[in-house]
Amino acid sequence: MNKHYDFIIHSGRVVTQGGIVEVDIGVIGGKVSALGDLSTASAPERFDADGLHVLPGVIDTQVHFREPGLEHKEDLITGTAGAVLGGVTCIFEMPNTNPSTLGEEDLADKLARACGRAWCDHAFFIGAAAENAGDLARLEQLPGCAGIKVFMGSSTGSLLVEDDTTLRAVLENGSRRIAIHSEDESRLCERRHLVEKKGATVHLHPQWRDVETSLLSTRRLLALARETGRRVHILHVTTAEEMEVLGVHRDIASVEVTPQHLTLSAPDCYDRLGTLAQMNPPIREARHRRALWQAVDEGIVDVVGSDHAPHTLEEKAQSYPASPSGMTGVQTLLPLLLDHMNAGRLSLKRLVDLTSAGAARIYNMEGKGHIAPGFDADFTLVDLKAERVISNDWIASKVCWTPFNGMTVRGWAVATIIRGCVVMREDEILGDPCGKPVSFVEGP
Ligand code: DOR
């Protein structure tokens, strides 16, 4: 029978849960309808993926797109443009905007701003604070909400839950997995004097925000997560010591690492990049980077998120510690990981788990994370052999810089397809912004 599809991707090496198979993909109504030999099927639109790998669309579960309030750094148009140029089909955006995303109206405002302007699918976190702790169980169920985000240590913005009493109240109110920035605020305050002395440079950043700052906070969090029975997701884990602890708490705590913590190390990154390498929690010495890779290898890490957190070059040029923390990353997440894969640091199967299936699993996303019939037709088509130089002029972010400027990488996204629409091909964005809010299925 000559079946009809809306769109067919021909001859790609498709990364499925069962392995890598050379099949065609038929799409109907934005969803995968069939995998197989579709050479006799008809479709108004086709994509020849011969020689390319077809990955489930990459999901970046930690980005700061700065809208509203900080649009001189980024907005939802430029942020999501960077996403699709880097092969990302879906993002979860963080609540430390201005105003912070604390309530139903703030979330509705972000969803309205994204409508017709976002190039990729999206969900927004609501920030936890003492003032909304009692309402979080309701707020986390709102459509378009990625979940609740807690800053245990202060970073960019004013969101903070520093004491155990408020943190317990936050954990007790709700049931979805809760995302945590884990640095201990009181230790940060105690040690702030280390960077306030004359002549302080960014090299001191990992000493101020030291291993103990992260470890202490993560231990406190794990104890409260056990006590309250709440699942937690610890964002951008940076230390060998935390990974050791997290390895025995897999049932309750999932783990994110960032590409920059897997790629850069101190002191070299501060020598070369100065405050461009400044972020929270910090880039640390090579022994931590090794431990992060070991944790990737051992299955302790669930997702890689970029923590895309743009600041302008002028802001970054302020002398440390006035310089803000954060760097761009949504566009470079996949090229960096493909390069690491080509260098033998992880398999393609593991890369796919960390960039799509893992996010879908820990956040219970509906219809995302796999290439299988019934799932959304979100694909990232990659040329594993392409050698390219990452450069600032490729970066779509408003701030126009990446700490990886000038780096040659092997492996590149050549097309980004969202619910059957080609939104990026050969470094060009196509059509109109078609991003939609994603849905979640509640589960254990
Ligand atoms: O370095 C960081 N910058 N870490 C964070 O947690 C926040 C982010 C930002 O929003 O600038």
Supply φ then ψ for residue 45, to 5 degrees. Answer: -135, 135
The number of the ligand 1 atom at minimal distance from the alpha carbon of 94 is: 10
Domains located in the chain, CATH noted: 7-54+372-429 (2.30.40.10), 144-363 (3.20.20.140)
Provide the annotated active-site residues. Answer: 307
Q: Distance (Å, rounded) from C-alpha 217 to C-alpha 185?
A: 8
Residue listed under structure tokens 């701003």: 113
Distance 280 CA to ligand 1 centre (A): 6
Provide φ and ψ at 365, rounded to 5°: -80, 145
Ligand 1 centroid–CA 70 distance in Å is 13
Token pair belonging to 365: 């996303």
Rounded to two decimals, the pTM is 0.98
State whether residue 239 is helix, strand or coil.
coil
Per-residue pLDDT of the chain (444 residues; tens, 9 = 90+): 579 999 999 999 999 999 999 999 999 999 999 999 999 999 999 999 999 999 999 999 999 999 999 999 999 999 999 999 999 999 999 999 999 999 999 999 999 999 999 999 999 999 999 999 999 999 999 999 999 999 999 888 888 999 999 999 999 999 999 999 999 999 999 999 999 999 999 999 999 999 999 999 999 999 999 999 999 999 999 999 999 999 999 999 999 999 999 999 999 999 999 999 999 999 999 999 999 999 999 999 999 999 999 999 999 999 999 999 999 999 999 999 999 999 999 999 999 999 999 999 999 999 999 999 999 999 999 999 999 999 999 999 999 999 999 999 999 999 999 999 999 999 999 999 999 999 999 744
How many angstroms does the Cα of residue 359 sit away from the middle of ligand 1? 20
| Ligand 1: centre distance to CA 325 (Å) | 6
Is 162 exposed, middle or buried, given 0-12, 13-18 or 19+ CB atoms closer than 10 A?
A: middle
Q: Pick the atom of ligand 1 nearest to 279's CA.
A: 1
How distant is the alpha carbon of residue 150 from its chain centre?
16
Distance, in Å, from the CA atom of 42 to the CA atom of 40, rounded to the nearest integer, reads 7
Which residues form the pocket of ligand 1, taking CB atoms under 6 Å from any ligand atom? 64, 96, 155-156, 181, 279-280, 309, 325-326
Mutate to test the pocket of ligand 1, among 183, 278, 307 (most ligand atoms within 8 A of CB): 307
Helix (H, G, I), strand (E, B) or coil at 203: helix
